[in-house]
């Protein structure tokens, strides 16, 4: 398996909203998310398949931290082995809210245009 690089979206003003979201979580939640990123970095994207779901109709994938936390982190593959993490949020409904998808897609468009 090829190792992967996990990039965090950084806004044009230099903010890193995904890192800020992850840093705002309690320690156990942060550990769960960082463990998934470490799996990808050490063993490749295929190693995180049990934790992800493709969002149909979009280029986005959703990292799912299940249980009472119900945290989601949206990302896209930017090459065969690398991903860019675009947005993190708490999922409180059955379907991923359009607002959250739109945020990730807007960040993706900004990232692609830089």
Domain that holds residue 12: 5-112
The answer to whether the beta carbons of residues 21 and 69 sit under 8 Å apart is no
Neighbours of 114 (CB within 10 A): 6
CATH of the domain at 20: 3.30.2310.20
Taking 80 as the threshold, does the pLDDT of residue 67 lie above it?
no
Taking 90 as the threshold, does the pLDDT of residue 78 lie above it?
no
- Number of structural domains in the chain: 1
Taking 80 as the threshold, does the pLDDT of residue 56 lie above it?
yes
Compute the distance between CA of residue 8 and CA of residue 16 in angstroms, rounded to an integer.
Answer: 7
* pLDDT for res 79: 83
Cross-sheet strand order for the sheet of 61-65: 5-8, 82-90, 71-77, 61-65, 52-54
47: left (phi over 0), alpha (psi -120 to 50) or beta: alpha
pLDDT band at 3 (very low <50, low <70, confident <90, very high): confident
Question: The whole model's pTM is what?
Answer: 0.92
Q: What is the mean pLDDT of the chain?
A: 92
The answer to whether the beta carbons of residues 75 and 86 sit under 8 Å apart is yes
The answer to whether the beta carbons of residues 96 and 55 sit under 8 Å apart is yes
Angle value at C-alpha 88, between 86 and 89, nearest 5 degrees: 145
Taking 80 as the threshold, does the pLDDT of residue 37 lie above it?
yes
């Amino acid at each position: 398996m090829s190792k992967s690089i996990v990039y965090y979206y950084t806004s044009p003003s230099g903010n890193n909203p995904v890192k800020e979201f992850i840093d705002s979580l309690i320690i156990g939640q942060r550990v769960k998310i960082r463990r998934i990123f470490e799996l990808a970095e050490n063993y490749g994207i295929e190693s995180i398949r049990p934790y992800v779901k493709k969002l149909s109709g979009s280029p986005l994938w959703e990292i799912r931290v299940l249980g009472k936390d119900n945290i989601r982190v949206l990302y896209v593959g930017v090459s065969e082995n690398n991903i860019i993490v675009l947005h993190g949020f708490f999922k409180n409904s059955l379907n991923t809210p359009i607002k959250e998808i739109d945020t990730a897609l807007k960040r993706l468009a900004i990232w692609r245009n830089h």
